[in-house]
C-alpha cells in the first residue's frame, strides 16, 4: 500500500522506447529523495573511434549511432564536413535532402505515435493486440510507414542507413517517374494523415494534465520556413544564435546515473523535440500542420510535455504537405544528373545542426589536411532532454502523491512521460565532451 509518505518505484528497462532506461523514484517520509531517469544503455564511444577515419566515411559511421535517426545523423554529419571543407551544394541537393528529412520525420513519428504511444491510450500492452481489435488503425499506420520508407529508399538508396547521400551531393539522383509516383502516394496519404489527427484528437483527453514551463530549443530564424534542415539555434529564453555556438547552447556534463550526458543553458534543463519546435516556430507551419494543430487543441506556447506526441502528429501533417511541394519544385526545376563534385580535402573544423524527430542535433568535426578526423563531437537530442525529464518527474511526482494517486498510477504516468519524449537512448550514449585543443 502506497502512502504519500513512502514510495519506491524502480522500472527496469522502460518498454516501448528506443534503448535502455530505468526510472527510479524514492520517497521517504514524504520527502522526495530520488527521482531520475537512469540511462543504462551500453556506451558506444563513436567520437573516440571516428578519430583517424577518412572524411568520406564520417556520415556513414555516425549514421550507425541510431537506425531510426540515421538520415538525420547523416545530414548533420554531411553539413559539418561540408562546413569544414567549404563545400557548397546545389539547390537540387538541398531539395532532395529536405525530402529525406520529411520522409524520416514521417517514419519516426508514425512509428512512435502508433506503435509506442497509442497502446497506452487505448489500454493495450503493445500494438500487437490492436491488429485484431483495431485492424484499420494498424493498417493505416503500416501504409504511412511504408510510404515514408519508400520515400527514403527512392531518394537515399535505403531508409535505414541511407547510401546515396555523400559530401557534396548524391551518388544517384532519383528519376522523375519515381518522384511522380511518390507525389501521388503522398497526395493520397492526406486522408490517412487526417484520420491520424482524428484518432489522436479522440485520445488526447487521456494525456495527463501536467505542465511545467521550461526553455524550448530548436532551429529557428528561417524566413517563411518551418526549419528542419537548416537555420539558427532558437531558444525560447535567449532568442537566436549561430549554430557555431552550440556548445554554449548545450553545456554537456557527465552525471553518474546516465551514460547519456545531461545539458543546461539558462535554467537547470531545457527541452528539444516536436513540442519545442511547434512552440518556437508555430507561425511557420503550413496549412496542413496548422489544421492538425487546431483539430488537436494545440496552441503555442504549450508547457505539457505529454503534448510532444500531439506535436508529432502536427508535424506529420506538415511534412506530408511539405514533401509534395518539394517534389513539385524538383520536377518544375527539371531533375539534373549532377555528378558528385571532386573534392580536395583540407584542414578545418565544421559544425552541422539539423532537426531530427527527437530534437535538434549537432555534429562537429575537425579534420587535418588529409581529411582525417582529428576530433569529433555529437550532441544528441535525447541527451539534451534527459535533465528536463528528471525535472518534470521531480515536479510531477509530488503533485501526484498530493492528489492521492497509487504507486501503479504514478508508475504508469512516469513511463508515459518518458515515452512522450520519444527518447532515443541508443542515440544519446554516443557522447562527446571533447576538449578541442
Partner 1 sequence: MKPKVAFFDFTSCEGCQLQKLNCEDELVDILSAVEVVNFREATSVRRDDYDIAFVEGSISTPSCVERIKKIRENAKVLVALGACATTGGLNMLKNFQPLDKVREYVYGDKAGYFDTLPVRPVDQVVKVDYKVHGCPMDKQDYMNVLKALLTGQEPRLLKYPVCVECKMKENACRYDFGEICLGPITRAGCGARCPSVNHICFGCRGLLDDPKMDAANDVLAAHGLTAQDVLRKYRLFYGYSEVSQ
178: contact with partner 1 by CB under 8 A: no
Q: Decide if residue 403 touches partner 1 (CB under 8 A).
A: no
| Site pattern 6..25 for partner 1 (x: CB under 8 A) | -------x-xxxxxx-----
Q: Which is nearer to partner 1, 51 or 346 (CB)?
A: 51
Nearest alpha carbon to residue 106 among 143, 131, 81: 143
Burial of 233 (0-12, 13-18, 19+ CB in 10 A): buried
Residue 303 binds partner 1 (CB under 8 A): no
Per rule CB under 8 A, is residue 417 in the interface with partner 1?
no
190 in contact with partner 1 (CB under 8 A): no
> Which residue number, 66 or 313, has a Cβ lying nearer to partner 1?
66
414 binds partner 1 (CB under 8 A): no
Query: Exactly one of 3, 10, 86, 126 binds partner 1 (CB under 8 A); which one?
Result: 126
Distance CA 327, CA 335 (A): 10
Angle at the Cα of 323 from the Cα atoms of 172 and 299, rounded to 5 degrees: 145
As given in the structure block, the three cell numbers for residue 12 are 527496469
Q: Does 431 bind partner 1 (CB under 8 A)?
A: yes
- Binding residue (CB under 8 A) for partner 1 from 142, 190, 264, 295: 142
Q: Does 240 bind partner 1 (CB under 8 A)?
A: no
Distance CA 53, CA 58 (A): 7
Is there binding between residue 343 and partner 1 (CB under 8 A)? no
Q: How far is the CB of 266 from partner 1 (least distance, A)?
A: 24
Contact 52, 84 (CB under 8 A): no
Decide if residue 128 touches partner 1 (CB under 8 A): yes
* Residue 31 makes contact with partner 1 by CB under 8 A: no
For 372, left (φ over 0), alpha (ψ -120 to 50), or beta? beta
Query: Which member of 25, 75, 80, 111 binds partner 1 (CB under 8 A)?
Result: 111
The answer to whether 34 contacts partner 1 (rule: CB under 8 A) is no
Q: Read off the DSSP letter of residue 159.
A: S
Distance CA 233, CA 360 (A): 9
Site size with partner 1, rule: CB under 8 A: 63
Per the CB < 8 A criterion, the answer to whether 13 and 21 are in contact is: yes
Q: Which is nearer to partner 1, 68 or 219 (CB)?
A: 68
Residue closer to partner 1 (CB basis): 18 or 315: 18
User: Is residue 191 near partner 1 by the rule CB under 8 A?
Assistant: no
- All 3 cell numbers of residue 230? 537548416
Which range binds partner 1 by CB under 8 A, 49-57, 187-195, 232-240, 270-278? 49-57
Task: Indicate the pairing of strand 270-271 with strand 215-220.
Answer: parallel
Closest CA to 217 of 281, 290, 310, 262: 281
DSSP state of 349: E
Where are the strands (E) in 301-368, listed by range? 348-356, 359-367
| Piece of the chain touching partner 1 by CB under 8 A; list 35-43, 90-98, 203-211, 284-292 | 35-43
- Residue 267: count other Cβ atoms within 10 Å of its Cβ: 13
Query: To the nearest whole angstrom, how small is the minimum distance from the Cβ of residue 40 to partner 1?
Result: 8
Among 92, 118, 164, 288, binds partner 1 (CB under 8 A): 164
What CA–CA distance (Å, rounded) separates 225 from 131?
38
Neighbouring C-beta atoms of residue 58, cutoff 10 Å: 25
44 is a site residue for partner 1 (CB under 8 A)? yes
CB neighbours of residue 247 within 10 Å? 17
By CB under 8 A, tell whether 176 contacts partner 1. Answer: no
Residue 297 touches partner 1, criterion: CB under 8 A: no
Output the smallest distance, CB 106 to partner 1, in A.
13
Q: Which residue has the cell 528506443?
A: 18
Q: Which residues form the interface with partner 1 (CB under 8 A)? A: 13, 15-20, 40, 42-45, 47-49, 51, 53-54, 57, 60-61, 64-68, 70, 111, 115-116, 119, 125-128, 131, 138-139, 142-143, 145-146, 149, 157-161, 163-164, 166, 171-172, 254, 256, 259, 426-427, 431-435
Amino acid at each position: 500500500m502506497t502512502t504519500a509518505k513512502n514510495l519506491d518505484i524502480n522500472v527496469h528497462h522502460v518498454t516501448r522506447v528506443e534503448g535502455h532506461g530505468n526510472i527510479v523514484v524514492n520517497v521517504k517520509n514524504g520527502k522526495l529523495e530520488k527521482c531520475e531517469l537512469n540511462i543504462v544503455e551500453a556506451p558506444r564511444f563513436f567520437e573516440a573511434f571516428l578519430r583517424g577515419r577518412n572524411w568520406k566515411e564520417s556520415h556513414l559511421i555516425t549514421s550507425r549511432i541510431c537506425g531510426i535517426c540515421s538520415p538525420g545523423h547523416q545530414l548533420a554529419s554531411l553539413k559539418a564536413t561540408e562546413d569544414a571543407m567549404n563545400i557548397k551544394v546545389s539547390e537540387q541537393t538541398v531539395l532532395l535532402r529536405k525530402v529525406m528529412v520529411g520522409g524520416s520525420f514521417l517514419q519516426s513519428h508514425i512509428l512512435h505515435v502508433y506503435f509506442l504511444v497509442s497502446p497506452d491510450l487505448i489500454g493495450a500492452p503493445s500494438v500487437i493486440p490492436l491488429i485484431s481489435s483495431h485492424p484499420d488503425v494498424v493498417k493505416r499506420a503500416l501504409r504511412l510507414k511504408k510510404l515514408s520508407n519508400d520515400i527514403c529508399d527512392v531518394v537515399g538508396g535505403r531508409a535505414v542507413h541511407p547510401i546515396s547521400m555523400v559530401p557534396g551531393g548524391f551518388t544517384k539522383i532519383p528519376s522523375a517517374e519515381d518522384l511522380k509516383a511518390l507525389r501521388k502516394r503522398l497526395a493520397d496519404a492526406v486522408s490517412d494523415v487526417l484520420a491520424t489527427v482524428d484518432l489522436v484528437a479522440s485520445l488526447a483527453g487521456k494525456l495527463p494534465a501536467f505542465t511545467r514551463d521550461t526553455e524550448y530549443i530548436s532551429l529557428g530564424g528561417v524566413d517563411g520556413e518551418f526549419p528542419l534542415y537548416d537555420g539558427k539555434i532558437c531558444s525560447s529564453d535567449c532568442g537566436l544564435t549561430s549554430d557555431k555556438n552550440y556548445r554554449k547552447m548545450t553545456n554537456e556534463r557527465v552525471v553518474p546515473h546516465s551514460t547519456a550526458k545531461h545539458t543546461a543553458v539558462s535554467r537547470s534543463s531545457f527541452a528539444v523535440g516536436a513540442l519545442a519546435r511547434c512552440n518556437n516556430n508555430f507561425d511557420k507551419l503550413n496549412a496542413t500542420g496548422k489544421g492538425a494543430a487546431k483539430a488537436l487543441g494545440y496552441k503555442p506556447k504549450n508547457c505539457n510535455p505529454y503534448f510532444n506526441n500531439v506535436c508529432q502528429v502536427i508535424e506529420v501533417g506538415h511534412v506530408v504537405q511539405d514533401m509534395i511541394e518539394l517534389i513539385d519544385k524538383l520536377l518544375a526545376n527539371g531533375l539534373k544528373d549532377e555528378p558528385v563534385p571532386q573534392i580536395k580535402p583540407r584542414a578545418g573544423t565544421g559544425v552541422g545542426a539539423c532537426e531530427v524527430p527527437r530534437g535538434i542535433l549537432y555534429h562537429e568535426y575537425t579534420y587535418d589536411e588529409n581529411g582525417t578526423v582529428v576530433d569529433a563531437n555529437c550532441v544528441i537530442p535525447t541527451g539534451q532532454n534527459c535533465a528536463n525529464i528528471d525535472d518534470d518527474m521531480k515536479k510531477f511526482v509530488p503533485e501526484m502523491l498530493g492528489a492521492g494517486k497509487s504507486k501503479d498510477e504514478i508508475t504508469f504516468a512516469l513511463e508515459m512521460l518518458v515515452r512522450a519524449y520519444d527518447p532515443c537512448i541508443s542515440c544519446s550514449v554516443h557522447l562527446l565532451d571533447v576538449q578541442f585543443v
